Structure 1
Amino acid sequence: MSTSSISVLTPYTARSICPLSKHLTYLDLSHNQFQGAIPPPIAMLKNQEYLNLSNAGFHGEIPRSIGNLSSLRTLVLEGSGQKVHGLGWLSGLVSLKYLNTNFIDLGNETNWLGIINALPRLTELHLRGCKLLSPLSTLDHVNATSLTFLDLSRNELASFSVAGWIFRQGSLGFLDMSQNYIEGHVPYTSNTTKLQHTDLSWNKLSSVIPDWIYSCQDLKFVYLDNNFLNGTISKRVGNLTSLDTFGLSYNQISGEIPSDH
């Protein structure tokens, strides 16, 4: 058995986790049929950099002691069936770059945005289907400035109160906020000039197509369908030379389609 990697948990390896705690850096227990709570020794692996517990079969609450793994760079909890009572423990993961809590119920976490913003090294964030509600307040300062991937789709966001944080992310290349309940207009300004993929479909947006979209020259995929967008398509759409898909169906767009692009 490797002392740097465990992919299958057996009774033997479960007992062996503690002795290996000084060496183990990679632990993948995903897609198994374990029972009971997450073994406490997992939170004692001080040098651990990768931890994947997605769909592993564990039950109960995710131990807050995982927040002591200050060397952890990747944490995957997707669809694990676990319960989370507060995300404050995430602030201890000062090295975290990749976080995936897809389909974990975070509906009772009112300060999720502030907690995520406290992870300055975060580059990829997956919060799909977490029952997230719109933040009660906006952020005065953005710390998570390295974010390149953000998935907030299939939540219960009702407004762009989170927009001040998202649209100041100059490094953001992927943004998915589809299948929420977001009403009103798309923010008129944005620093997200590096976007390659943006999906705001299946919301209740009622503004015109924002001008900043036409300034994202790396855009390949834009999905704005199934909203209440109005106005016209700007001739500046010709600036999007990398554009592959532009989804605008089921809106209220009018006027002429630019014919020279």
Structure 2
Amino acid sequence: MNKLQFLRLSHNMFSGNIPIEITNLNNLQYLDLSSNNISGVIPLHLSNLTGMTQKKNHLASLYYAGQSGNESGFTFMVNQFEDVLSIITKGQQLIYGDGLAYYIGIDLSGNSLTGEIPLDITSLDALINLNLSSNHLSGKIPNKIGAMQSLESLDLSKNKIFGEIPASLSNLTSLSYLNLSYNDLSGSIPTGRQLDTLNADNPSIMYIGNSGLCGPPLQKSCSGNNMFTHASHRSNMQELDGMSFYLGLILGFVVGLWIVFCALLFKKTCRISYFRCVDRHYDKVYVFVALSWASLTRNSAAK
């Protein structure tokens, strides 16, 4: 069924694996298999679902715009769904009518899926909703998740996902709902203009149930970062102390030299005493050197 665009089989009693052949539906733009008993891994090669990419949807929009002047089958398809199809997204149930034609999403929540989140899923850059919550998924969140620029709702809660939250998550400028709660995530929570505006009333709710996470908006501070900051601060203080010591040494030498110079320049008695002292020491040194040289010469001649 390679022309299939909407596939909704949620809230049934399906079991077994998701068939790999589902990735051959290159016109598919909405897949809902939520609330079943499906197990196994999420199929690889999700990049074959080109109906969920920007390029494919741009071409589709141009085609539908060209059909707006007549009673196309597309118009009939939109009208028959008007105010009928409800979709769970952004943590709530929303009714879609005409807007369904442009809705692109994957909902595999409430199953028994295992394994990692496929890296290929990040190529679906037209995806608006991705819900993989309440499964047994493990592994890490793909680092390239920031490439899914159309994503408005991301729910990965209640899994066994571990590791750090990718910094690229802050690149999702369209994101308005995020739930990463009840996993095994660790490390510092990334910050960004978009992430900092989510769940403004209680932003920590997005991350609860991850004992290893730290940093705002959680109350737990990142001790590693604090240690690094303190070590850096101590290093800077040591460098500053060393510079201050040498600067003070040079300044003291210059000031002392100028005091001696001014005393010799403006006070005659000091100047006379100074030069007499210099002459006296000069004579002593001269006599010592002369006698030492004469003694050395005699000893050499005797040998």
TM-score for both structures, normalised by structure 1 = 0.55
Please state how far the C-alpha of 1:146 moved relative to its aligned partner. Answer: 0.5
Residue 134 of structure 2 corresponds to residue 129 of structure 1: yes
Larger radius of gyration: 2
Alignment correspondent of 1:164 = 167
Change in Cα spacing, 1:71 to 1:196, as seen in structure 2 (3 Å) is farther
Change in Cα spacing, 1:133 to 1:61, as seen in structure 2 (3 Å) is closer
Change in Cα spacing, 1:73 to 1:86, as seen in structure 2 (3 Å) is closer
Query: 1:195 is matched with which residue: 185, 198, 216?
Result: 198
Sequence identity percentage: 26
Alignment correspondent of 1:117 = 122
Q: Higher relative contact order by CA 8 Å / sep ≥ 6: 1 or 2?
A: 2
Take 2:213 and 2:42, find their aligned partners in 1: how far apart are those partners?
34
Alignment correspondent of 1:73 = 29
Where do residues 210-225 of structure 1 align in structure 2 (5 Å cutoff)? Answer: 224=218
More helix by share: 2
Take 1:102 and 1:113, find their aligned partners in 2: how far apart are those partners?
15
Contact 1:113 1:135 in 2 (8 A): no
Take 2:11 and 2:146, find their aligned partners in 1: how far apart are those partners?
32
Contact 2:35 2:111 in 1 (8 A): yes
Query: 2:150 is matched with which residue: 141, 146, 153?
Result: 146
Note the aligned Cα RMSD (angstroms).
2.7
Take 1:53 and 1:167, find their aligned partners in 2: how far apart are those partners?
32
Residue 186 of structure 2 corresponds to residue 183 of structure 1: yes
Contact 1:107 1:133 in 2 (8 A): yes
Contact 1:55 1:81 in 2 (8 A): no
- Secondary structure at 1:95's aligned position in 2? helix
Please state how far the C-alpha of 1:60 moved relative to its aligned partner. Answer: 2.6
Query: 2:105 is matched with which residue: 87, 98, 101?
Result: 98
Contact 2:137 2:160 in 1 (8 A): yes
Take 1:91 and 1:103, find their aligned partners in 2: how far apart are those partners?
23
> Structure 2: 5+ residue runs without aligned partners?
53-103, 223-303
Name the aligned partner's letter for residue 68 of structure 1: N
Change in Cα spacing, 1:81 to 1:137, as seen in structure 2 (3 Å) is closer
Take 1:208 and 1:88, find their aligned partners in 2: how far apart are those partners?
34
- Secondary structure at 2:7's aligned position in 1? strand
Contact 1:94 1:121 in 2 (8 A): no
> Structure 1: 5+ residue runs without aligned partners?
1-43, 211-223, 232-261
Please state how far the C-alpha of 1:189 moved relative to its aligned partner. Answer: 4.3
Take 1:194 and 1:48, find their aligned partners in 2: how far apart are those partners?
37
TM-score for both structures, normalised by structure 2 = 0.48
